[in-house]
Structure 1
Amino acid sequence: MRLVFAGTPAAAVPTLRALAARHEIAAVITRPDAPLGRRRVLTPSPVAETAEQLGLPIIKAARLDDAVTEQIAALDASLGVIVAYGGIVREPLLSTPEKGWINLHFSLLPQWRGAAPVQRALIAGDAELGVSVFQLVPALDAGDVFAMRPVALPDGATADVALGVLADDGAALTLDVVDAIADGTAQARPQQGAPTLAPKLALDDGALDWAQPLERVYARYRGVTSEPGAHTTLDGVRLKILAATPASSADPLDAGRLRAARDAVLIGTGTAPLAVTRVQPAGKGPMNAVDWWRGLRDGESLRAGS
């Protein structure tokens, strides 16, 4: 089947590769090059880089306006496939391909409709995550679902790790749906249950509240790693928490209190401590947490979150 694909981040790349191996990709739509790194070098999106490797036509657009709609209409594609493009598809573009658009979403719909489903699910402590492929409609992530699949994650997976696993499983599921649409056997069903929302995370969402129980602190750490990033403050200075694990068997510490262990720095929560193994102090690069601790003055008198 002749397709138009829209996507931007690395999580969309497995689906693009899977579809390109079996179907005709008339064009790939992705967001424009963005400044990255300390030198703010303009860099193509992961989807743009992959499309170039595959020799596919690329349309770079910050939004899907009338001009982009005209370009897509001229391609005479049968179906549009979108994975984390980063923009809204509205009419008349929604109806421009003959069979409309389908969307790979990284949740078990109607749970976690919105921009940050994986992060929000982990922060909430959900035991099960998954992927859904649905028909795109004007309402946010509300279309009928063609296929849905729960996905097992590695123990302690952070949001970036989880998204990589879901992206691979989602690519296979999307390919199955596109194949079924192509041969006329696809069936979509209305979503069942009450929806929950997953708005985009802000920097403040990464702040760890040490007064909460360990399981809640650890769930937030997992959900905000690596974006927007887990962090706390010490004497008003931000400290990024890059790697951490529960220390359920360690002796309790008062919430926010720090203590050095052999391989980690323990920070007290409302229950058991969190073992922090890698940090990034303000103005410095990532480092081993124990090395950072050794450079502190009177570390045990400090309180995280202060």
Structure 2
Amino acid sequence: MKVVFMGTPEFAVPSLRALADAFEVALVVTRPDAVRSRGKSLEPSPVKRCALELGLPVLEAARMTDDALAELKRCDADVFCVAAYGCILPDEVLTMAPAGCVNVHASLLPRWRGAAPIQRAILAGDEETGVSIMRIGQGVDTGAYCAQASCSVPGKTTSELTAELAELGGRLLVKMLPSIVAQTAPWREQDESLVTHAAKISKAELRLDPSDGALENARRVLASSDAAPARCVIAGKSARVTAAAAPVAPDGAVDAPGEGTYAISHGRLLLGCAGGALQVVSLKPDGKREMDAAAWAAGQREHAGAWGRLA
């Protein structure tokens, strides 16, 4: 079986590796080198790095130009496989391979169609999420799916859940591809009455807020990323909370802090929220390195004070 693979971020790498182990990958299509970290130099995408490591041919394309389309046609692939490529594919690409174009989507469709299914599942408090092997069509994640696999959500960060779903998706894609190419896969249309949408996460959504519950704030910390970190103001200074636990009870040596106040006791940093307290496990004050809460607390003169939402 001959496959063309399209993907860009780390999420797509396990799918590429699984395909390369099982089938002939004729071409890997990924977005061009870009500034991907705090440095100023261009860096290859994780998929490009993986493809080069595996000795696979790479086409860098931000959109499907005539030259890119010609390259795809020359591959004469049986099927195109996509995992978080990051570009809209024209109809010509969707129908170019005999078995069409299939996608690894990081949710249990029809729940969480869209750009941020993993973070939305965390923020919503979903008990489980998963991956779907779906056909790519005209709408955003509206195509039929032929297989799904699930995993639990509670307590997992965005990066942890992304890594787990990436591995799950790669295995499921390879399992289903022979039946997809043979036209025997059991395709199922999505139930439109069950659709939820996973819009891109904004920075404002992940700002911690004392007027919200401790559990809601804890989910913001789990869902946070470098692009949209969980931030707040503690003792008059802004910081990113990188790990937290909620809800928590006081340890007996200190009363539970009220809404909008913090308390330090035996190295624990508690942020009072509506109906409970959020325990900060680690944080990164602006302009400083990341540290655990005990180290931060040791440097504070006041063991109680105010905290609030970042303006």
- The residue that corresponds to 2:155 in the other structure is 156
User: Greater CA deviation, 64-73 or 8-17?
Assistant: 64-73
- The residue that corresponds to 1:165 in the other structure is 164
Provide structure 1 residue ranges, at least 5 long, that are not aligned to the other structure.
none
- The residue that corresponds to 2:108 in the other structure is 108
| Counterparts of 2:66 and 2:139, CA distance in 1 | 20
**Counterpart of 1:111 in 2: which secondary structure?**
coil
User: Greater CA deviation, 108-117 or 229-238?
Assistant: 229-238
1:254 is aligned, of 251, 258, 267, to 258
| Count of aligned pairs between the two proteins | 305
Does the CA-based 8 Å contact 1:225-1:242 persist in structure 2?
no
AA in 1 matched with 2:264: A
AA in 2 matched with 1:295: G
Give the share of equivalent positions with the same residue, in percent.
34
In structure 2, the CA distance between the partners of 1:276 and 1:6, relative to structure 1 (3 Å rule), is same
Does the CA-based 8 Å contact 2:268-2:297 persist in structure 1?
no
- The residue that corresponds to 1:194 in the other structure is 194
| Counterparts of 1:118 and 1:243, CA distance in 2 | 18
AA in 1 matched with 2:70: E
Does the CA-based 8 Å contact 1:122-1:223 persist in structure 2?
yes
**Counterpart of 1:285 in 2: which secondary structure?**
coil
The structural deviation recorded for 1:67 is 3.0
AA in 2 matched with 1:51: A
Residues 133-171 of structure 1 deviation map (CA, whole Å, 9 limit, x = unaligned): 101001100001111122135x51111101111111111
- The residue that corresponds to 1:230 in the other structure is 230
- The residue that corresponds to 2:244 in the other structure is 244
| Counterparts of 1:156 and 1:225, CA distance in 2 | 15
| Counterparts of 1:197 and 1:236, CA distance in 2 | 36
Coordinate RMSD, CA, aligned: 1.9
Residues 68-120 of structure 1 deviation map (CA, whole Å, 9 limit, x = unaligned): 22221221111111001111112222112222210110101011101100101
Does the CA-based 8 Å contact 2:25-2:56 persist in structure 1?
yes
Does the CA-based 8 Å contact 2:32-2:44 persist in structure 1?
yes
- The residue that corresponds to 1:132 in the other structure is 132
Does the CA-based 8 Å contact 2:236-2:307 persist in structure 1?
no
AA in 1 matched with 2:157: T
1:280 is aligned, of 259, 280, 284, to 284
Does the CA-based 8 Å contact 1:205-1:224 persist in structure 2?
no
**Counterpart of 1:165 in 2: which secondary structure?**
helix
The structural deviation recorded for 1:247 is 4.2
In structure 2, the CA distance between the partners of 1:261 and 1:84, relative to structure 1 (3 Å rule), is farther
- The residue that corresponds to 1:293 in the other structure is 297
What pairs with 1:6-45 in structure 2 (closer than 5 Å)?
A: 6-45=6-45
Residues 29-71 of structure 1 deviation map (CA, whole Å, 9 limit, x = unaligned): 1111122444323211111111001100001122233332222
What pairs with 1:80-99 in structure 2 (closer than 5 Å)?
A: 80-99=80-99
| Counterparts of 1:88 and 1:299, CA distance in 2 | 52
Does the CA-based 8 Å contact 2:31-2:85 persist in structure 1?
yes
Does the CA-based 8 Å contact 1:136-1:142 persist in structure 2?
yes
TM-score w.r.t. structure 2 length?
0.92
